[in-house]
């Protein structure tokens, strides 16, 4: 492992989560550039996220959502483009699905979002970037899917199961966005459930000033450990898709 820490000029909530899961995997991906094969859930989720973004961008101009046909056409294009960006079909871990089945699933997920979620948001901003400087000088940056007219934060997600309210109250993303915006927030997940029958849900949670201060401590602690070169292995469920699992303690059997 080559520790080229100069390239780590900023952190994001996904980067902090990855470090907390397994510092060694974080290092081989961020410092050595070894990446895992993208999974089918990432491909589908990205297609739906891009749909939500572009629909809301044009809605800010026209005042109307896309038709379902327009949304499905865009989702198919976004899905195909993202597969190509990942290196093609052979570079994606399709799991138990195929390219065609995953594409059909993405279109159903997009339809669920358009039916149950898109119309509920008239955004004041879309893909809103924030940037804050941590006490050690490293930047913390992120992009918010949408901020509505009331200042509430909207995040579009796909998942395989419903989100318990307890998970929402503990979720780091909402806390990180409150820190990024430097204010208390109401956070809403617009979630589409990717199961045999596509369903949707809206989960809401709030973050106050204590959460803002808590997250700065978390982000600073991760940033400090990175600068110190602390990258121990943390074996767990994430080992299955790690690009260096075969060389790591997480794969050694007695």
**Residue 5 banded pLDDT, cuts 50, 70, 90:** low
Q: Cα(128)–Cα(116) distance, rounded to whole angstroms?
A: 22
Residue-wise pLDDT for 102-152, tens only, equals: 999 999 999 999 999 999 999 999 999 999 999 999 999 999 999 999 999
Q: Does residue 93 surpass a pLDDT of 80?
A: yes
Quick one: pLDDT band at residue 251, thresholds 50, 70, 90? low
Share of the chain above pLDDT 70, in %: 95
Residue found under tokens 């007695």 = 254
| Position with higher pLDDT, 1 vs 236 | 236
Phi, psi of 93 (to 5 degrees): -85, 100
Q: Which residues pair with 158 in a beta bridge?
A: 192
Nearest to 153 by CA among 130, 133, 178: 178
Say how far apart CA 71 and CA 52 lie, in whole Å: 9
* 205 bridge partner residues: 187
CA distances from 140 to 72, 76, 174 (A): 34, 33, 14
Per residue in 196-208, pLDDT (tens digit) is 899 999 999 999 9
H or E segment at 55? helix 40-62
Measured in degrees and rounded to the nearest 5, phi and psi for residue 109 equal -65, -40
What are the extents of the domains in the chain?
A: 40-216
pLDDT at residue 2 above 60?
no
In this predicted structure, which of 15-19, 24-28, 68-72 has the lowest mean pLDDT?
Answer: 24-28
Biggest CA pair distance of the chain: 63
Our measurement of the distance from residue 22's CA atom to the centroid of its chain's CA atoms, rounded to an integer in Å, reads 17
Token code pair at residue 150: 């009331």
- Residue 213 is predicted with a pLDDT of 96
CA distance 61 to 43: 28
- One DSSP character per residue, 68-82 reads HHHHHHHHHHHHHHH
The share of the chain scoring above pLDDT 90, in percent, equals 83
Q: Inform me whether the pLDDT recorded for 245 exceeds 90.
A: no
pLDDT-based confidence at 254, cuts 50/70/90? Answer: very low
Average pLDDT of the chain is 93
Is residue 194 within 8 Å of 44, Cβ to Cβ? Answer: yes
Q: Are 190 and 153 in contact (CB under 8 A)?
A: no
pLDDT at 4: 61
pTM: 0.91
Q: 183 pLDDT exceeds 90?
A: yes
Query: What pLDDT score does 243 carry?
Result: 78
Statement: residue 68 has pLDDT above 90: yes
Architecture of domain 40-216 in this structure: Alpha-Beta Complex (3.90)
Distance CA 233, CA 25 (A): 7
- Alpha carbons 131 and 203: distance in angstroms, whole number: 25
| pLDDT per position as a tens digit, 22-60 | 999 999 989 988 888 899 999 999 999 999 999 999 999
């Amino acid at each position: 492992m080559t520790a080229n820490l100069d390239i780590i000029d900023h952190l994001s909530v996904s980067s902090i989560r990855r470090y907390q899961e397994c510092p060694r995997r974080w290092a081989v991906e961020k410092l050595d550039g070894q990446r895992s094969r993208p999974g089918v859930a990432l491909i589908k989720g990205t297609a739906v996220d891009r749909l939500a973004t572009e629909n809301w961008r044009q809605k800010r101009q026209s005042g109307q959502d896309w038709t379902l046909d327009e949304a499905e056409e865009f989702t198919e294009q976004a899905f195909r483009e993202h597969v190509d960006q990942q290196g093609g079909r052979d570079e994606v871990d399709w799991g138990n699905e195929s390219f065609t089945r995953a594409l059909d699933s993405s279109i159903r997920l997009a339809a669920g979002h358009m039916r149950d979620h898109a119309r509920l948001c008239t955004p004041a901003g879309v893909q809103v970037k924030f940037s804050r400087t941590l006490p050690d000088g490293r930047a913390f940056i992120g992009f918010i899917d949408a901020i509505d007219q009331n200042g509430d934060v909207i995040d579009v997600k796909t998942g395989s199961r419903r989100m318990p309210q307890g998970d929402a109250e503990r979720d780091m993303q909402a806390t990180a966005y409150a820190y990024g915006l430097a204010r208390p927030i109401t956070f809403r997940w617009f979630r589409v459930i990717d199961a045999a029958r596509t369903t949707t849900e809206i989960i809401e949670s709030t973050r106050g000033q204590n959460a803002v201060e808590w997250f700065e401590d978390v982000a600073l602690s991760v940033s400090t450990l990175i600068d110190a070169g602390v990258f121990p292995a943390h074996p767990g469920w994430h080992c299955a898709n790690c690009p260096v699992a075969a060389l790591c303690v997480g794969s050694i059997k007695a």
